[in-house]
Structure 1
Amino acid sequence: MQNQIKFIPNKEEPGLDKLSDADLVSRCQQDLPDDIEAYRELVERYEGLVYNFCVKTIGSPQDAEEVAQDAFITVFHKLKQFEGKSTFKTWLYKIVHNSCRNRISKLARKRQTQEAYEDHMKGVQNNQSLTNRQKLDNRAHIQEALTLLKEQEKEIITYKFILGMTLQEIADTLNLGESATKMRFYRAMESFKAAYERSGKEKPAPITPKP
């Protein structure tokens, strides 16, 4: 991340990178705002993931960087309110999710995320027998298919395949039941497959969702 939050390592605080998220959160709740060492570790642990998600969701690196910074500022101010009813990771995803949605709603034009989806789906294509021309055609079909999806469908596919979240983590982030989340995910995948088949003759590589 360009211009991301940078910290100078504190030589007097060894071993913070060995602590669990829960332990770091506990330290933050005790020490903030006077001592930010545990908070630094949380930021360093998740800043790449958060930025990566923001840029793929919003489309603009500059906007994504600002949203990521804002999300971590929100974390700083709200950590003491975190009650541990979910994991820190899920709680962080909710903050990032809401921050991205707020930024998107304020943008003058709709940001494009097809490239991010294309990059992911390209990695799914493991069939080495495809020629270069076939691969290029397949990428074009993937991009075209993604433009046909509803925003809600793109959103859940982003969480699953860009962030690598489990369906339970997605359910917690979207405040949905696990069954409802599974149904929404499978419907999104069916919509993608149908759109892909309309865009070209080749079928996408099958995707097996993680539990």
Structure 2
Amino acid sequence: MTKQSRTARRYNPADLDDDALVLKAKSELIHTTTAYEELMRRYQRTLFNVCVRYLGNERDADDVCQEVMLKVLHGLKQFEGKAKFKTWLYSITYNECITQYRKDKRKRRLMDALSLDPQEEGEEQEASTSEGSEGLSRLLAHVNPIDREILVLRFVAELEFQEIADIMHMGLSATKMRYKRALEKLRNQIDSPFI
């Protein structure tokens, strides 16, 4: 191998944009994970924050993040690039969060049916979050799951409305309308003396 071809193979992943990293990752994934790791590094913190806001606890959020990263690793070769990588990533995240949420809901129903106290586990999880985070989570608990996800994708993941609409399989105007209503509901809750 010549010196020039070795230099052409080396690159600094931090210097590449997402599209270039996706192309690199697709071509090198069998042999190396450098580009894939850079993509995950870029989105890891936001991905985790989205999951925590949606699921309400860090343990489940961490599990979902690991699952999302595995799905991206195995699915990157099939990623067609019709949407931005970021949109595709958050679409996977949204679906995994819904799956986890449903599992938790079934678990709570089972605990209720067995006359166990589901509050104990919830109190442990709440104790691990910070005060500000707890207040936001408490407010978001009063918003239905779809609207909560729109707010989380908008504020935590910082996605555009069209990207959110694509992820959630909704029309753009419906997404904007739900976003506006959810914000109004949150504002009303903040202004309410009972919260």
Question: TM over 0.5: same fold?
Answer: yes
Give 3-state SS (helix, strand or coil) of 1:102's partner: helix
Q: Given that residues 90 and 173 in structure 1 are in contact (C-alpha distance below 8 angstroms), is that contact kept between their aligned partners in structure 2?
A: yes
Evaluate the alpha carbon distance shift between residue 187 and residue 152 of structure 1 in structure 2; reply closer, same or farther with a 3 A threshold: same
Confirm whether residue 200 of structure 1 aligns to residue 188 of structure 2. no
**2:111 matched to 1:102?**
no
Question: Shift in Å at residue 148 of structure 1?
Answer: 3.0
Shift of 1:19: 0.5
Percent of aligned pairs with the same amino acid: 36
CA distance in 2, matches of 1:143, 1:43: 25
Question: What RMSD in Å do the two structures reach over aligned CA positions?
Answer: 2.9
* C-alpha distance after superposition, 1:122-146 (max 9, x if no partner): 9xxxxxxxxxxxxxxxx6xx77654
Q: CA 1:36–1:60 in structure 2 vs 1: closer, same or farther (change >3 Å)?
A: same
In the TM superposition, 1:105-120 aligns within 5 A as 105-107=102-104, 108-109=107-108, 119=132
Partner of 2:114: none
Cα distance, 1:177 vs structure 2: 1.9
Q: Would you say the 8 A contact 1:49–1:163 is kept in 2?
A: yes
Q: Say if 2:139 is the partner of 1:158.
A: no
Q: Are the equivalent residues in 1 in contact too, given 2:13–2:35 (CA < 8 A)?
A: yes
TM-score for the superposition, normalised by structure 2 = 0.75
Give unmatched runs, 5+ long, in structure 1: 1-11, 123-138, 202-211
Q: 2: distance between equivalents of 1:119 and 1:31?
A: 42
2:5 match: none
Distance 1:18 1:155 in 2: 31
Report the count of equivalent residues.
Answer: 169
Distance 1:162 1:74, change over 3 A: same
- Return the match for 1:81 from 71, 78, 81: 78
